[in-house]
């Protein structure tokens, strides 16, 4: 970890959302408080799923401003917020994209990171992702990511960010010696994990559509 203090879950989520939206919806960036809260509370592409209130988000923004990680500007009738990860961490934009995915989705393999980063940056191949991860891990000012021991049956090791401090014990549970894995089991495990993630995201979308239909008085949504 760098000399930056360990960030809270809410601080990590707010920074991740600001960085993500800067690249995926640039016309709406910097974000209003309402847009930021919506991004933090998304049910898809987020792990863990959280519920943050306007007051909690504002308090989190204030704490991040004190660390120079967030900027505030006045636009029209509302304040807008942007991140300053580039200025504070002094790392390339590609590395910020990888950190953003890790902040929003939790530990990921290089392959998963490449896919999840596509809307923000198109990495040429997995080797390119790994090179930027290694740079973040070997950073002179302090490591920002760490490679986790390989999970049982997995082909690739996952990486995690260190912005919140050392990884929790649960992230390294079920580890095995990389030399004893069966590659075919790794492929099946990766596919199952991908399917499970897609099913969870679909359930979140259905729940959201159900609420919208209910509010509009539309019947018949499955």
pLDDT of residue 218: 78
pLDDT of residue 202: 66
Kindly report each contact of residues 138-143 with a partner whose C-beta sits within 8 Å and lies 24 or more positions away, as own/partner. 139/2, 139/91, 141/2, 141/3, 141/90, 142/1, 142/2, 142/3, 142/4, 143/1, 143/2
Question: For the chain, how are helix, strand and coil distributed in percent, rounded to 5?
Answer: 55, 10, 35
Low-confidence ranges of the chain (pLDDT < 50): 172-190, 192
How far is it, in rounded angstroms, from Cα 133 to Cα 135? 5
Q: Give the residue extent of every domain in the chain.
A: 1-166, 183-221
pLDDT of residue 207: 63
pLDDT of residue 205: 66
Nearest to 110 by CA among 143, 153, 155, 142: 155
**Each residue's pLDDT tens digit, 120-150:** 999 999 999 999 999 999 999 999 999 999 9
Identify the CATH number of the domain defined by range 1-166: 1.10.10.10
pLDDT of residue 189: 46
**Each residue's pLDDT tens digit, 154-178:** 889 999 999 999 887 655 443 333 3
For residue 169, count other CB atoms closer than 10 A to its CB. Answer: 7
Q: DSSP secondary structure string, 38-104?
A: HHHT-SSS-SS-----HHHHHHHHHHHHHTT-EEEEEETTEEEEEE-HHHHH---HHHHHHHHHHHH
Nearest to 146 by CA among 128, 168, 173: 168
Judged on CB neighbours under 10 Å (0-12, 13-18, 19+), 43 is: middle
């Amino acid at each position: 970890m760098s000399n930056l203090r360990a960030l809270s879950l809410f601080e990590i989520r707010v920074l991740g959302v600001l960085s993500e939206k800067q690249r995926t919806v640039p016309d709406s960036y910097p974000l209003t408080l309402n847009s930021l809260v919506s991004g933090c509370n998304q049910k898809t592409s987020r792990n863990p799923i959280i519920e943050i209130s306007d007051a909690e988000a504002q308090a989190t923004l204030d704490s991040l401003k004190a660390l120079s990680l967030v900027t505030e500007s006045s636009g029209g009738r509302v304040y807008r917020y942007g991140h300053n990860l580039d200025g504070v961490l002094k790392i390339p934009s590609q590395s910020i994209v990888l950190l953003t995915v890790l902040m929003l989705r939790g530990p990921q393999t290089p392959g998963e990171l490449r896919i999840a980063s596509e809307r923000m940056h198109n990495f040429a191949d997995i080797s390119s992702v790994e090179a930027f991860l290694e740079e973040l891990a070997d950073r002179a000012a302090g490591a920002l990511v760490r490679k986790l021991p390989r999970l049982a049956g997995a082909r690739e090791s996952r990486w995690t960010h260190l912005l919140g401090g050392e990884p929790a014990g649960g992230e390294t549970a079920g580890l095995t010696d990389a030399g004893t894995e069966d590659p075919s089991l790794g492929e099946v495990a990766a596919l199952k994990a991908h399917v499970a993630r897609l099913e969870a995201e679909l359930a979140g979308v259905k729940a959201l559509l159900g609420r919208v239909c209910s509010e509009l008085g539309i019947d018949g949504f499955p």
